[in-house]
Structure 1
C-alpha cells in the first residue's frame, strides 16, 4: 500500500446541496408526493454520508466497500465518496519511552538500558493496512532494535579506538535510529531521533564492575604517568649532556634516572635529602 490523495470536493457545497434536497423532501411530503419526497430524502442521506472534517496534522484513510480509495490530508471541511469508511491517523510528532531492558553487552556483562524514540507517520496507508497496529509495532520494534544494538558494544572501554555504549553515546544513538528506520519503514513511520535515556550495569554486578572500572582507570593512568616519566628523564639527561653542565658516567646516569622516575611516579611529594658534606 502507498498513500495517494483521494477524490474530494468542498464540503460547504455538499451542505448546500443537502439543505436543498432536505427542503425538497419536506415540500414533496407536504404536497402528498411521497415518491418524490422519498427520493429527495434518500439523496440527502447519501450526501450527508460523504461529509467529513479533517483537523490539522491528520490524515483520513478512505475505503469504499473494502477498496482503498486514498487519503485526505488537507485540513478543512470536505465531501468524499458516500457510504465510505474512514480511519483517522495522526501525523503529529510523538515520543516513545522504552521500558528499562536488561541485556548482555558484547562482553557478556548484564546491563540496564532504555531509550526514547521520536517518530511520526509519513504514510498513513502503510500505517493502517500494512501492520495490525502501528503504535504497538513501533513499541515492539524499538525494544528489539535497542536490544540488538546494545549487544554489539561493551558497556565501557579504556581503549580510545574502540566504541562503547557509555563513551560513544552519539554514535550508538545514530546507529539505533538507522536500524529503527529500516524496521519501521514498512509501517510508514519516520524516525526523527533516538537517544539513550538510561544506561547502567545490572544491580547484581554493579559493585564488582565499579571496582573493575576503578582498577582499569588506575592502570591506564599509571601507564600514562610512566610514559611521561621516561620521556622527562631522557630529556633531562640529554639536556645536561648537551649543555655541558656536568659529565655523567653510566652509574650516575642510572642513579639520576632512578631518582627522577621515583619523584615523578610516586603518589606522594618527594622529600629531598641534601648532602652537606662529610665531617671528616
Structure 2
C-alpha cells in the first residue's frame, strides 16, 4: 500500500508538458538574468592607459681593462699620532713618595732596623708584627712605586717609541731625555734619523736582454713610525726588496749603450735616478718611508758579456771617429775646390775635377791620420 502511494506521488511530480506554440507566432527564448539588469549600476568605463614610452636600449657595458700593477694601498687606520708620555721627574717624584710611604708604614710597625731609624734621626719602635691594617697600604704603595719607577725610560735623539696595547696602536713618543711611559704599554724602538743604504752589486738586464750588475745608493727616512713598525714586519728589509724590484723595472726600459745612434741610454744616470726615485717613493709610502734619492752609482756589464761589449764599444768609438774625420776631409776638399774654381784660378772639366778631388781627399786624409 505504501509502495503504491509512493508510485502515485512520483507520477504526479513528473515533468509538466509544454503547450504547443501558436501557429504563425515566433518563439524567442529570454535569458533569465535579463529582467534584473535594470537594478544593477552601470560601472564607468575603465580609463584607457597611455602607452608606455619606449625605453632606449641600454648601451652595452664597456669592457673593463685588465687590472694593471698598482702601488700598495695606504692603511688609513695606521697614522702616527702622539702617544701618552709624561716627564721623567714626575715618575721619579711619585715613586719616591710611594717608597717613603712604605717606609713609614714599616716604621710604625717596628719592622725597620734601629740602625736605619737612627741614621735618619727617628725614634726606634718596638716590633709588634705586621697586622691586617698594615698590608693594604703597603700593597697599594708598592704597586704605585712599581708603576712609577717601572715606566721610567731614556729616549735618545733620532729615535722614537711606538706604543701598543694588546696589539693595538696607542701612539708614538718622539720626546727625548728622561720620560715616563706606562709600563703596561709595549714599546718598540724605531730609528727616525736620515739614513742611506748602499746595495751590493745586483743583477739586472737592459732592454736588449744584456746582463748587468748595478749598485744603487738610497737616501731615506722613516716619516710615519706607526706604518713602519706595524704595516710590515721589517721595513728595512722591505725597502731593500723594493729597491731591487724597482731597479729591475727601470733598467729594462732602456739599453745600456747605443753604439750607432743617438738615443737615451742607461748612461744618463740623472734620468735613471729620477725614475727610480719616483717609483721607490710610491712603493714605500704605504710603510711610512720617505725616499729622497735613489741613484745608481755603478752600471756595468756582467763578467760573461763584459769583454764582448768592450770590443763592440771600441769598434763603435773607432767608427765614429773615422766618420768624423771623413766628414771634415770632405768639407775641406769641397771648400778648396769651390775657392779655386770661383776665383778663376783653374779651369777644370769633369775628369780633371774628379782627379783633383781624389788627390785632395787622399792628401787631407793622410794628414789627418798622422
Task: Please indicate, yes or no, whether the TM-score normalized by the shorter chain is above 0.5.
Answer: yes
The one of 230, 233, 249 aligned to 1:132:
233
Answer whether contact 1:53 1:76 (CA < 8 A) is retained. yes
SS of the equivalent of 1:157 reads coil
Answer whether contact 2:203 2:214 (CA < 8 A) is retained. yes
SS of the equivalent of 2:164 reads strand
Deviates more, 1:260-269 or 1:46-55: 260-269
Match for residue 200 of structure 1? 300
Q: Report the structure number with the largest CA radius of gyration.
A: 2
Distance 1:268 1:239, change over 3 A: closer
Distance 2:188 2:261 in 1: 51
1:77 equivalent to 2:160? Answer no
After superposition, where does 1:260-275 map in structure 2 within 5 Å? 260-266=360-366
SS of the equivalent of 1:190 reads strand
> Runs of 5+ in structure 2 lacking a partner?
1-77, 110-133
Q: CA deviation at 1:266?
A: 4.2
Answer whether contact 1:49 1:83 (CA < 8 A) is retained. no
User: Relative contact order (alpha carbons < 8 A, sep ≥ 6): 1 or 2 greater?
Assistant: 1
The one of 253, 259, 273 aligned to 1:158:
259
Can you list the C-alpha shifts for 1:162-201, whole angstroms capped at 9, x where unaligned? 2222x21222122222221121122211223223233222
Match for residue 92 of structure 2? 15
Match for residue 198 of structure 2? 97
Distance 1:269 1:142 in 2: 48
The one of 148, 157, 161 aligned to 1:47:
148
Distance 2:250 2:351 in 1: 57
Q: CA deviation at 1:85?
A: 0.8
After superposition, where does 1:220-235 map in structure 2 within 5 Å? 220-235=320-335
Q: CA deviation at 1:47?
A: 1.9
Q: CA deviation at 1:118?
A: 2.1
Answer whether contact 2:325 2:368 (CA < 8 A) is retained. no
Distance 1:164 1:59 in 2: 42
Match for residue 138 of structure 2? 37
Answer whether contact 2:247 2:276 (CA < 8 A) is retained. yes
Answer whether contact 1:27 1:37 (CA < 8 A) is retained. no
Distance 1:52 1:161 in 2: 62
Distance 2:304 2:167 in 1: 55
Answer whether contact 1:103 1:113 (CA < 8 A) is retained. yes
Could you state the TM-score of these two structures normalised by the residue count of structure 2?
A: 0.67
Aligned residues: 269
Q: CA deviation at 1:73?
A: 1.1
Q: CA deviation at 1:58?
A: 0.6
Match for residue 166 of structure 2? 65
Name the one with the larger strand percent.
Answer: 1
Answer whether contact 1:6 1:72 (CA < 8 A) is retained. yes
The one of 107, 112, 119 aligned to 2:220:
119
> Runs of 5+ in structure 1 lacking a partner?
271-280
SS of the equivalent of 2:196 reads strand
Match for residue 236 of structure 1? 336
Distance 1:143 1:267, change over 3 A: farther
Answer whether contact 2:163 2:171 (CA < 8 A) is retained. yes
Can you list the C-alpha shifts for 1:133-158, whole angstroms capped at 9, x where unaligned? 11111111111112222212211113
Match for residue 214 of structure 1? 314
Answer whether contact 1:50 1:84 (CA < 8 A) is retained. no
Distance 1:47 1:246 in 2: 110
Answer whether contact 2:260 2:316 (CA < 8 A) is retained. no
Distance 1:267 1:65 in 2: 86
